[in-house]
Amino acid sequence: MKHTAYQLFKKPFFGRFMRPWLWPESVDRADWKRVTVHSESGAELVALVAESNIKPVKGAVVMVHPMGAIAKGFWLKYGHASLLRDAGYHVMVFDLNGFGESPSTNLEYPLDVVAAGLAMQARYPDLPLAVMGASMGAAMSMCALAKHNHPFKVAVLEGSFPTLLHFWGRYPIPKLSIQLSKIFYPAGEKRMRPLLAADQLVGQPSVLFIYGEADIYTPVKDGKLLWRALSHKTKTDFWAVPDADHTHALRANPDEYSRRVVQFLNEHMPQALVAIGTH
């Protein structure tokens, strides 16, 4: 009954995206191992894991998808996962609850991100761990960084909204739902507020923010709100990508995207590995 109520609440936001999941065309399934991750959101999340194409392996990355029926397939279809594997990283892609192949439970998406991170950490305990998110996935990853048990040492976040209203305020029904949630479910709404999570950051994960200059949904000015909130707490970098639409910085500038993202991971993951060895 409780999950039914959440599903009704989700419908104005995500209903059109919650469809049966299909493998992206032209993606070879052979490299990917299907795994299940138990989340404290109550969902058994469906994930895919693939290992680095080169050695030595530098680390592992959990990839958190944007809204869309393609869900975890976003990272496969557009080349992000291949980029990281070619750069020396194991990767996990997974469906947030209610998307793709993961059953719908509640709105505690940051718990899904943490669960995927802990599962990847258990799988590769000797490797430092990063999280990469886009749009909703970036926002929920930012919120996950405020959880006491998150395992991430580095984050690459593209197109995160600072608050739910920054993204949904242009849509009347979702806007009303969020306003009502502030009255009837204030604690839950706060747990999905990246700007608040930035103030409550746990640990000091290095964060690269990426925003597209052509993005009408999460514009650069919104990204700078998050960047300013976080920049005095940890190492941060900010890249505004010319001509990039929402979540498509890689498509707009593949060479520069590859250079910046891989360099950021390479620079900060070894530091994380040293830190792990001292605990």
Task: Return the HEC string of 79-123.
Answer: CHHHHHHHCCEEEEEECCCCCCCCCCCCCCHHHHHHHHHHHHHHH
pLDDT of residue 7: 59
**Mean pLDDT score of the chain, rounded to an integer?**
88
Is residue 228 pLDDT above 80, yes or no?
yes
Q: Stretch 72-78: mean pLDDT, rounded? A: 97
Where do we find the tokens 């950021």?
264
**44-50 and 33-38 as β-strands: parallel, antiparallel, unpaired?**
antiparallel
62-71, 190-199, 233-242: lowest mean pLDDT where? 190-199
Neighbours of 148 (CB within 10 A): 8
Per-residue tokens: 279: 């605990």
* Cα separation, 22 vs 12, whole angstroms: 23
* Cα separation, 36 vs 169, whole angstroms: 34
pLDDT of residue 275: 47
Question: What confidence tier does 163 reach under pLDDT thresholds 50, 70, 90?
Answer: confident
Q: Which residues, 6 or more positions from 11, have their beta carbon under 8 angstroms from its beta carbon?
A: none
Is residue 144 pLDDT above 50, yes or no?
yes
Question: What confidence tier does 168 reach under pLDDT thresholds 50, 70, 90?
Answer: low
Question: What confidence tier does 239 reach under pLDDT thresholds 50, 70, 90?
Answer: very high
Is residue 172 pLDDT above 80, yes or no?
no
Is residue 225 pLDDT above 60, yes or no?
yes
pLDDT of residue 53: 96
Is residue 199 pLDDT above 80, yes or no?
yes
Summarised one tens digit per residue, pLDDT across range 6-21 is 555 555 555 566 778 8
Residue 202 near residue 151, CB atoms below 8 Å: no
pLDDT of residue 107: 83
Per-residue tokens: 23: 């493998």
97-106, 157-166, 266-275: lowest mean pLDDT where? 266-275
Residue 273 near residue 130, CB atoms below 8 Å: no
* CA nearest to 207, candidates 126, 121, 132: 132
pLDDT of residue 169: 56
CATH no. for 2-277: 3.40.50.1820
Residue 236 near residue 230, CB atoms below 8 Å: yes
Residue 152 near residue 272, CB atoms below 8 Å: no
Q: What percent of the chain has pLDDT over 90?
A: 72
